Chains A and B, each alone.
Chain A
Amino acid sequence: MAKKWILSFIGLFIVLTFLFPIYWMVISSIKPAGDIFGDSSIIPKRITFEAYINIFNQQDIRVLSYFKNSLIISFGAMIGTLCLATPAAYAIARRKIKGITLFLLFVLITQMFPSNMLALPLYSMFANIGLLNTYTGVIIANMTLSIPFAILVMRTYFLMIPTALEEAAAIDGCTRWGTFFKIILPLAKPGVFTAGAFSFLLAWGEFLYSLTMLKNNDLWPVTLGMRQFVGQYSTNWSELMALSVVSSLPIIIIFIFTQRYIVSGITAGSTK
């Protein structure tokens, strides 16, 4: 029994050492401006939340606006992905259709495309149809990343639902879409939940498409806004770290509540 607790103790030590950069991000954000260059001790001597107050009071850098934009883009990408990928994943899991293996293979190949390969043509296309500098454009670009992944993740959950349920529903006169909404979806909730969380997290961290498509800084998400804190000559590290903490907070909160699903989602989406 004692041996097990020693293992736990060493495990905790490994976790803390490995996550030191996260710890250092938080610590650097609550050190007074004078200590950030003077005091390099691992445990800070003085603590202040000045940097957090400062980042929200900047005139030219509007943190709240970046946050709002990140939320709009991430929620948009999540909802769009779920609407399109859920029925597709269901169809693929049931394999009644010709060409389904081809579609699955295609979905796998899409994961090999470098984002650059899409950034340029999408830029040109969106310029022509007026989607540059819009949330919709970036949401669509994000969905090209998350739909294939969401399909792969949800497929494994749909495969676990016995077909007998659908057969019974069909006998009772339920239509295919009726069965899908009333019987299948409630059973596949964890899968939909996982795919949704992934789409949200992917979109929150996405950078290249926002960088190329959003010239108007009113629309910038936090990932783009952060660049403004890296000064040309000197960087205000405590404010930049405070912004990093605030920007990763939604990720960490979502992660803590969904970690069980995230772990199974990673293995389902990449190895099955």
Chain B
Amino acid sequence: MVKQSEFKRIIEKSKDYTFLMPASLFLLLFLVYPIFFNLNLSFRDVNVGNLIQGERELVGLSNYVTVLKDPLFVKALANSIVFTVGTIIFSTCIGFMLALYFNKPFPGNKWMRSILLIAWMTPIIIIGTVFRWMLSGENGIINEILMNIGILSQPNYWLTDTNTALFSVIITNIWISIPFSMVIILSGLQALPGNIYEAAKIDGANRFQQFFYITLPLMKPTLLVLLMLGVIFTFKVFDLIYIMTAGGPADATQVIPFLAYQLSFGMYRFGEGAALSNISFIIIGLFALVYLYFIRREEVM
């Protein structure tokens, strides 16, 4: 009798799994398996001849060594770090200011803050193309504006000048990221308890004091989530580099994801391409671990 009900329970339980099964199988086949396959490829000599079929010779860690020894890797890593840090700092600060503004109650605030998201929703390939035109050395509007107000005396070729190319791409990416930061920060602001501010006002705290002693500390968890997401999303930006500069001029905008693409699909050094994409995953993963460690410590305190 007991056995039978136990059996029935298992049958019932297995019905729960039918909900999870299709997605799990799909992700196992097209997400988990490829990740391991990529790991496998990174330890082998893979070229045009054997990428699809045939023997791939095991070469141990040599792909990793080649990639790490390449001076281009160091340059791409440095650029990626500047790209990521620059984007996150500015998009978070500007996003925070916009969030504070559009959190005020005034007619149209909801509509306005969601329309800003167009910058984030529009395909990166299109945004990259538009900024390429605006930053163009020949009649680009940015040059025209800067020359009209007297900052520039002659047109600057923003994207083909090695001194300004990375800066220009970062500006574009900041513009794309601002609305996302703003929406995340707004959701945090709306969850803050209003009565604390009432109390602070009674105690005579001015606006700046309220911001630095109340808002900022309470927003710390939201900002940490945003920082984490920012690193994950920004470190893997590929399309923007592809459409705006293709890593150039003279590798001034070469970043890790674009280099990994070039190794595999431009130079057909597939083993090295696989190794580099694994390295970039490890970098993001290490960052995530450090982040989780801090979150834990925060929770314990």
- A-B CB contacts (within 8 Å), total count: 262
- Expressed in whole angstroms, the Cα–Cα distance for A4 and B116 within the complex equals 20
Question: Counting CB contacts under 8 A, is A32 at the interface?
Answer: no
- Expressed in whole angstroms, the Cα–Cα distance for A205 and B75 within the complex equals 28
Q: Flag if A226 contacts B187 (CB, 8 Å).
A: no
Can you list, as one digit per residue, whether each of B13-51 has a CB less than 8 Å from chain A (1) or not (0)? 101111110111011001101110110010000000001
- Expressed in whole angstroms, the Cα–Cα distance for A143 and B118 within the complex equals 23
Stretch at the interface among A45-53, A55-63, A245-253: A245-253
- Expressed in whole angstroms, the Cα–Cα distance for A119 and B33 within the complex equals 13
* Chain A: number of interface residues, binned into ranges: 35 or more
Q: Flag if B114 contacts A118 (CB, 8 Å).
A: no
Chain A nearest Cβ from B80, distance in angstroms: 11
B98: chain A residues within 8 A (beta carbon) = 14
Q: Flag if B34 contacts A125 (CB, 8 Å).
A: yes
- Expressed in whole angstroms, the Cα–Cα distance for A120 and B102 within the complex equals 43
Question: Counting CB contacts under 8 A, is A164 at the interface?
Answer: no
Chain A nearest Cβ from B234, distance in angstroms: 11
**A114-B236, A119-B261 known; A88 vs B123 contact (CB < 8 Å):** no
Stretch at the interface among B157-165, B199-207, B279-287: B279-287
Question: Counting CB contacts under 8 A, is B242 at the interface?
Answer: yes
- The residue in chain A whose Cβ has the minimal distance to the Cβ of B187 is A267
Q: Flag if B130 contacts A25 (CB, 8 Å).
A: yes
Candidates B18, B123, B225; contact of A271 at CB < 8 Å: B225
A259: chain B residues within 8 A (beta carbon) = 114-115, 117
Interface centre among B22, B30, B284 (most CB of A within 10 A): B30
**A103-B24, A116-B280 known; A4 vs B30 contact (CB < 8 Å):** no
**A11-B101, A117-B35, A259-B117 known; A147 vs B27 contact (CB < 8 Å):** yes
Q: Flag if B260 contacts A114 (CB, 8 Å).
A: yes
Can you list, as one digit per residue, whether each of B123-134 has a CB less than 8 Å from chain A (1) or not (0)? 111110111111
Q: Flag if A226 contacts B144 (CB, 8 Å).
A: no
B257: chain A residues within 8 A (beta carbon) = 114-116
- The residue in chain B whose Cβ has the minimal distance to the Cβ of A208 is B238
Question: Counting CB contacts under 8 A, is B274 at the interface?
Answer: yes
Interface centre among A119, A226, A235 (most CB of B within 10 A): A119
Q: Flag if A241 contacts B133 (CB, 8 Å).
A: yes
Chain A nearest Cβ from B33, distance in angstroms: 8
Question: Counting CB contacts under 8 A, is A12 at the interface?
Answer: yes
- Expressed in whole angstroms, the Cα–Cα distance for A84 and B20 within the complex equals 8
B261: chain A residues within 8 A (beta carbon) = 116, 119, 208
B134: chain A residues within 8 A (beta carbon) = 21, 24
Q: Flag if A110 contacts B38 (CB, 8 Å).
A: no
- The residue in chain B whose Cβ has the minimal distance to the Cβ of A267 is B187
Candidates B27, B30, B136, B260; contact of A122 at CB < 8 Å: B30
Q: Flag if A248 contacts B126 (CB, 8 Å).
A: yes
Q: Flag if A241 contacts B130 (CB, 8 Å).
A: yes
Which residues of A in the span 74-125 have a Cβ within 8 Å of any Cβ on B? 83-85, 87-88, 90-92, 94, 96-97, 100, 103, 106, 110-125
Chain A nearest Cβ from B168, distance in angstroms: 13
Question: Counting CB contacts under 8 A, is B122 at the interface?
Answer: yes
Which residues of B in the span 93-145 have a Cβ within 8 Å of any Cβ on A? 98, 101-102, 104-109, 112-119, 121-127, 129-134, 136, 138-139, 141, 144
Stretch at the interface among B58-66, B175-183, B211-219: B175-183
Chain B nearest Cβ from A174, distance in angstroms: 12
Chain B nearest Cβ from A196, distance in angstroms: 15
Question: Counting CB contacts under 8 A, is A157 at the interface?
Answer: no
Can you list, as one digit per residue, whether each of A200-229 has a CB less than 8 Å from chain B (1) or not (0)? 010011011001100000000001001100
Question: Counting CB contacts under 8 A, is A255 at the interface?
Answer: yes
List 26 interface pairs A-B (beta carbons < 8 Å), by A numbering.
A11-B112, A12-B108, A15-B116, A18-B175, A18-B178, A22-B122, A94-B16, A96-B13, A100-B20, A112-B284, A112-B288, A114-B235, A115-B236, A116-B236, A116-B238, A117-B34, A120-B38, A121-B37, A123-B51, A207-B239, A230-B129, A251-B122, A259-B114, A267-B184, A271-B187, A271-B222
